[in-house]
Amino acid sequence: MFANLLIGLREGLEASLIVSILIAYLVKTGRRRQLPLIWLGVGLAVGVSLAFGAALTFGPKGLSFQAQEIIGGSLSILAVGLVTWMIFWMASASRTLATDLRGQLEAAQAKPWSLPLIAALAVGREGLETALFVWAATKSAVGDGGSATEPLVGALIGIAIAVALGYLIYAGAVRINLSRFFAITGGFLIVVAAGVLAYGVH
């Protein structure tokens, strides 16, 4: 449960920070009328991520046991690769994240459809990574004789905490040293990823 809570918290906070940066920028530049486009993009990203998670969970069940094992192992190794890349990417990109997003918003001013696209791509990447890694971690836990429910509950709790923190950061009610936060959670996630990798290779 703790490992998946950590995944949901980290990935969810990344997505929440991106959304809060987009919203803050539009509010400060007097373009509140474009906020529904941001929420449209976020909604699309969440929908695609849930559909991807459902496909991972229910899609392979009609296949043979050997095919399920090949798919499970391959996707687990892919999940480890993505999470490892994400840990290093966030360590280098966290300082310029807000500036990069603002630059994209400036470029998108003349094209209203670009706003939901930016939000969908930014949040969707985190959502797809979360769905894949939570699925792989859950498969690993079940393979070790654990329950499938606890990892999912842990991920949902982590995402809920991340959304609340994102709102508090946006409202100025709380300040977090993001570099330290991502460094600490990255260290924990490397340990989790090692367990998922062992399951995937097995």
Nearest to residue 178, comparing CAs of 76, 92, 80, 60? 92
Mean pLDDT of 97-121: 69
Point out the least confidently predicted range of 3-17, 27-41, 118-132, 168-182.
168-182
C-alpha distances out from residue 145 to 100, 138, 139, 142, 148, Å = 44, 11, 10, 5, 9
Summarize pLDDT for 142-165 with one digit per residue, the tens: 666 666 678 788 888 999 998 898
- Tell me how far apart the alpha carbons of residues 35 and 25 are, in angstroms, rounded to a whole number: 10
Q: Report the mean per-residue pLDDT for the chain.
A: 78
pLDDT at 47: 92
pLDDT at 79 over 90: no
128/59: higher pLDDT:
128
- Tell me how far apart the alpha carbons of residues 181 and 129 are, in angstroms, rounded to a whole number: 19
Mean pLDDT of 168-197: 74
173, two tokens: 């009610």
Work out the widest C-alpha separation in the chain, in whole angstroms: 57
Point out the least confidently predicted range of 5-19, 91-105, 113-127.
91-105
- How much of the chain is helix, strand and coil, in % rounded to 5? 85, 0, 15
